[in-house]
Amino acid sequence: MTPHDMPARHDPGPAFRALHQRGNPFVLANAWDVGSAKMLAGMGAQAIGTSSAGYGFTQGLPDLGHLTRDQSLAHAADLVAATPLPVSADLENGFGEAPEDVAQTIRLACEAGLAGCSIEDTALPTHNAYAFDLAVERIRAAVDAARSLPRDFVVVARADGIMRGHYGIDEAIRRLQAFEAAGADCLYAPNPRSVADLMRICTSVKAPVNALAIKAFTKFNRAQYGDIGVARISLGSALARYIHQAILDGAGPIFETGTFHQLAKGANGVDIDTLVLKGGERASE
């Protein structure tokens, strides 16, 4: 089925777009497989996000630039089918440097049933940032492709240079403002150096801003993010890494000292079953 053939009930875009409210942020719950997506939906998530790092871990791959477009979109389609919630995908750099590569990724993301996606300005598989003009042109191509789709689609433009150590807050804001002028629906500069910098980002643009719950920013609650002016809080790979820490904590003693008592802390299987079933309700309707 192509996006042109999708009935209206399969259009997740308007509901997803409506969640993006400055000062009233929702949590984009980043999942890494069907089970985690269903559990998060069952626990009350309003929307699901993919995590390139989290999904990569399940495939035995390290973060950044190791997943193909086909892998990422097939995984995203599985999450779309898993719950009735809108799903936004972390599509890294759009799987190509050329603006047309990014545009094609947007079209394929729509076919996968996604409500939106993020495109970053990192020249993967390196950690380098694309030159300013090319970065803007790539987002403009993504937006043009999204606007030509038969349904709504939310384009998130990412300026990752702060997180990657390639530029500072002033350049990040310059890029975000240019991405906004190119038509991006939501703006995202992961891991600014301070709350003051995050506030600068929010006040420098009119479009909704996504914040990442990472490092020092895990100290803030949803209401405090709202006071800063954030519209969306994503978990990124943090929850997947939290789960992998549990693997380290649970399996480490087994192989180091031969002890198993730590496994008694595991979640109750009935509780997991309940959430998985609840989260998947109506997904097949």
Asked whether residue 9 carries a pLDDT value surpassing 60, the answer given is no
What angle is formed at CA 36 by the lines to CA 211 and CA 78, rounded to 5 degrees? 95
Task: Supply the pLDDT for residue 1.
Answer: 36
Give domain status of residue 19, yes or no: yes
Task: Supply the pLDDT for residue 65.
Answer: 63
Between 99-111 and 132-147, two packed helices, what is the crossing angle to 10 degrees? 30
Of residues 6 and 98, the one with the higher pLDDT is 98
Distance between CA atoms of residues 85 and 161, nearest Å:
31
Tell me which residue has tokens 């802390």: 265
How confident is residue 281, by pLDDT bands cut at 50, 70 and 90? confident
Give domain status of residue 204, yes or no: yes
What angle is formed at CA 197 by the lines to CA 194 and CA 201, rounded to 5 degrees? 145
Q: Partners of 243 in the beta sheet?
A: none
User: Checking phi first, is residue 113 left (phi over 0); if not, alpha (psi -120 to 50) or beta?
Assistant: left
**Based on the number of CB atoms within 10 Å of its own CB, is 277 exposed (0-12), middle (13-18) or buried (19 or more)?**
exposed
Span 273-278, average pLDDT: 93
Decide: 166 and 194 in contact? Cβ < 8 Å.
no
Asked whether residue 56 carries a pLDDT value surpassing 70, the answer given is yes
Decide: 45 and 29 in contact? Cβ < 8 Å.
yes
Of residues 35 and 284, the one with the higher pLDDT is 35
Percent of the chain surpassing pLDDT 90? 89
pLDDT digits (tens, 9 = 90+) for 187-241: 999 999 999 999 999 999 999 999 999 999 999 999 999 999 999 999 999 999 9
Residue 174 belongs to domain spanning: 3-279
Give domain status of residue 285, yes or no: no
Decide: 154 and 186 in contact? Cβ < 8 Å.
yes
Task: Supply the pLDDT for residue 130.
Answer: 98
Task: Supply the pLDDT for residue 283.
Answer: 57
What total of structural domains would you count in the chain?
1
Give domain status of residue 184, yes or no: yes
Helices marked H in the chain: 13-18, 34-42, 52-58, 69-82, 99-111, 132-147, 161-164, 169-181, 195-204, 222-228, 238-257, 269-279
pLDDT digits (tens, 9 = 90+) for 125-148: 899 999 999 999 999 999 999 999
Give domain status of residue 128, yes or no: yes
Give domain status of residue 214, yes or no: yes
Asked whether residue 155 carries a pLDDT value surpassing 50, the answer given is yes
Task: Supply the pLDDT for residue 64.
Answer: 67
Give domain status of residue 284, yes or no: no
- 119: nearest Cα among 147, 144, 140, 90: 90
- 173: nearest Cα among 135, 205, 212: 205
Asked whether residue 4 carries a pLDDT value surpassing 80, the answer given is no
Percent of the chain surpassing pLDDT 70? 95
Asked whether residue 61 carries a pLDDT value surpassing 90, the answer given is no
CATH number at residue 12: 3.20.20.60
Task: Supply the pLDDT for residue 251.
Answer: 96
Give domain status of residue 267, yes or no: yes
Distance between CA atoms of residues 108 and 77, nearest Å:
10
